[in-house]
Amino acid sequence: MTYLQAALTILGYADRTLTVGELTSIAVAQSLVRPRGRTPDRSMSSVLYRRMAADPDAPMLCENGRFWLRGRVLPDRGSTALRPAIRHFYRRGKQAHADGYRPGHARTAALPPPPFAIPAADLLRLPSPQPVANLHERAIARLDAALLQCRRRFPSTDEAAAPWSVEATYTHLVSPVLTKLGYRRVDQQPAATSRGRRARLLRAQDGTTILLETLRAGLALTDLQARPALARARPLGAAWVLLTNGGEIRLYAAKPALGAGHDSLAVRVLRIPLYRWTDDAERLDTARLLWLTSREAVSHGSLDAYLAARAVGAALLRAFDDPASGVVSALVAATLSSTSLQLPAEAIAHQARLAIRGARGRDGEPAPADVVAVTTAYEQTQPALPAALAIAS
């Protein structure tokens, strides 16, 4: 068990609030954890307090240095506490030599017996893992805070960014963002590109490769600039192309299903203006979209899920623009059978567009607030989506 799992298991059986020292003593005595250092109580304290600082809905509560499981009824506050266990002591001087100990020799004291016994069968019931969506939201919150830090490096105007070179743009603007997205140096490999650009191959945990091409700051990005990058990405086996000038990121799908015969505008998946937000809500939407390009999100297939959601939304919008489409005909039949209302196809198509327009963008893309829901649904129910996107024609 980890220290967190051991603490939650102990608090699930405790009959009173416990301190860090008591939690550590019980965890060691019950063989829930195997400390590698001399200060397991410090490790336990660091794990618990960091969890509570990072997650306001942490499964444990703390008051006056004593912990209790969230959701359980607090016991009597007048109950006595166990004394902290002494782990090491040192014997020095003449008495130490007389007892056969060298000066400074450490001797381990025995741990006190636990105040209660946890059945062995119950030890196998580990605390339930944290919901995936909550983990995603915390990662998005960290990116939201990082955008404030990165914005200070970005030139305030296009005129101020004009003298920047490609190398300066990558070093001062792009590289810090990649670090915040979880891409380590070992995950970034140089790649050949044309003059005036700097290319890197970004590798995710599942082997997915992204071709990143950086242009100098102050140069406006267009979809036409992505065409040579898409042509270079396919021989390299890159599934995605990231084009950036330090202030804007454009993501394109380079999969075989979307490659030949498709214009670069048609395969553009995301357009993220990094520092063009005006309030906290816009910055949070930017962080949600930026999170989709993080190493962890790409490894979990979040980009595949977002691309599928956008494709379905675009297909629905096109179908609703045509009252004679098969989707509208099916809705007419379903409305008649469920409500006995004979509505014209034009009215049903109009109402269908209104029904999905609140949750979809103009091009069928999900709203930024729905990014976590889209990716979580993919992780739980659509494990074969990348293969389907790769073989579709």
Q: Is there a single domain that holds both residue 315 and residue 167?
A: no
Q: Is there a single domain that holds both residue 195 and residue 291?
A: yes
Looking at the chain, the whole-number percentage of residues with pLDDT higher than 70 is: 74
Q: Is there a single domain that holds both residue 263 and residue 331?
A: no
Among 9-13, 94-98, 296-300, the least confident range: 94-98
C-beta of residue 74 within 8 angstroms of C-beta of residue 17? yes
CA 122, distance to chain mean position in Å, is: 31
Q: Is there a single domain that holds both residue 267 and residue 361?
A: no
Q: Is there a single domain that holds both residue 156 and residue 267?
A: yes
Q: Of 300, 334, 362, which residue sits at a domain end?
A: 300
Q: Residue 306: what pLDDT? A: 86
Which residues in 305-323 are b (16+ Cβ under 10 Å) and which e? bbbbbbbebbebbebbeeb
Q: Residue 97: what pLDDT? A: 47
Q: Residue 200: what pLDDT? A: 93
pLDDT higher than threshold 90 for residue 319: no
Read off the pLDDT of residues 34-80 as tens digits, 9 standing for 90 and up. 888 888 989 999 999 988 888 877 888 888 888 988 878 776 543 44
Q: Is there a single domain that holds both residue 136 and residue 219?
A: yes
| Structural domain range at position 381 | 304-393
Among 123-127, 190-194, 376-380, the least confident range: 123-127
Q: Residue 199: what pLDDT? A: 93
pLDDT higher than threshold 80 for residue 147: yes
Q: Residue 339: what pLDDT? A: 81
**Alpha-carbon gap, residue 205 to 119, rounded angstroms:** 38
CA 166, distance to chain mean position in Å, is: 29
* Cβ neighbours of 340 (radius 10 Å): 7
pLDDT higher than threshold 60 for residue 113: no
C-beta of residue 278 within 8 angstroms of C-beta of residue 284? no
Sequential DSSP letters for 143-199: HHHHHHHHHTTS-SSHHHHTT--HHHHIIIIIHHHHHHTT--GGGEEEE---TT-EE
pLDDT higher than threshold 80 for residue 373: no
C-beta of residue 345 within 8 angstroms of C-beta of residue 323? yes
Please provide the average confidence, as pLDDT, over all residues in the chain: 77
Residues 6+ apart with CB under 8 A from 377: 305
Q: Are strands 60-63 and 66-69 parallel, antiparallel or unpaired?
A: antiparallel
Q: Is there a single domain that holds both residue 245 and residue 273?
A: yes
Coil, helix or strand for 302? helix
Residues facing residue 241 across a β-bridge: 211, 252
Binned at pLDDT 50, 70 and 90, residue 356 comes out as low
Binned at pLDDT 50, 70 and 90, residue 31 comes out as confident
The DSSP call for residue 207 is S
Q: Is there a single domain that holds both residue 33 and residue 125?
A: yes
Q: Residue 133: what pLDDT? A: 62
Binned at pLDDT 50, 70 and 90, residue 96 comes out as very low
The DSSP call for residue 135 is H
Q: Is there a single domain that holds both residue 206 and residue 294?
A: yes
Q: Residue 360: what pLDDT? A: 65
pLDDT higher than threshold 60 for residue 121: no
pLDDT higher than threshold 60 for residue 15: yes
Q: Is there a single domain that holds both residue 118 and residue 169?
A: no
Segment 19-48 shows an average pLDDT of 88
Task: Write the CATH number for 173.
Answer: 3.90.1570
**Alpha-carbon gap, residue 2 to 33, rounded angstroms:** 7
Q: Are strands 209-214 and 240-244 parallel, antiparallel or unpaired?
A: parallel
Q: Is there a single domain that holds both residue 154 and residue 256?
A: yes
The first and second tokens of residue 259, run together, are: 């490659």
Binned at pLDDT 50, 70 and 90, residue 334 comes out as confident
**Alpha-carbon gap, residue 386 to 366, rounded angstroms:** 19
The DSSP call for residue 18 is B
Total domain count, the chain: 3
Q: Residue 362: what pLDDT? A: 64
pLDDT higher than threshold 70 for residue 95: no
CA 382, distance to chain mean position in Å, is: 18
**Alpha-carbon gap, residue 176 to 171, rounded angstroms:** 8
Q: Of 129, 147, 169, which residue sits at a domain end?
A: 129
The first and second tokens of residue 140, run together, are: 């998005």
Highest mean pLDDT pick, 81-85, 127-131, 369-373: 369-373
The first and second tokens of residue 282, run together, are: 């816009």
C-beta of residue 210 within 8 angstroms of C-beta of residue 242? yes
Q: Is there a single domain that holds both residue 100 and residue 173?
A: no
Helix axes of 3-13 and 40-54: crossing angle, nearest 10 degrees: 90
Read off the pLDDT of residues 206-261 as tens digits, 9 standing for 90 and up. 888 999 999 988 888 888 899 889 889 888 889 899 999 988 999 998 865 444 44
Q: Of 278, 300, 322, which residue sits at a domain end?
A: 300
| Alpha-carbon distances, residue 274 vs 221, 234, 248 (angstroms) | 13, 27, 5
Sign for the CA dihedral angle at 372, 377, 382, 388 comes to: negative
Higher pLDDT, 45 or 83: 45
**Alpha-carbon gap, residue 253 to 301, rounded angstroms:** 13
Rg (alpha carbons) of the chain, rounded to whole number = 29
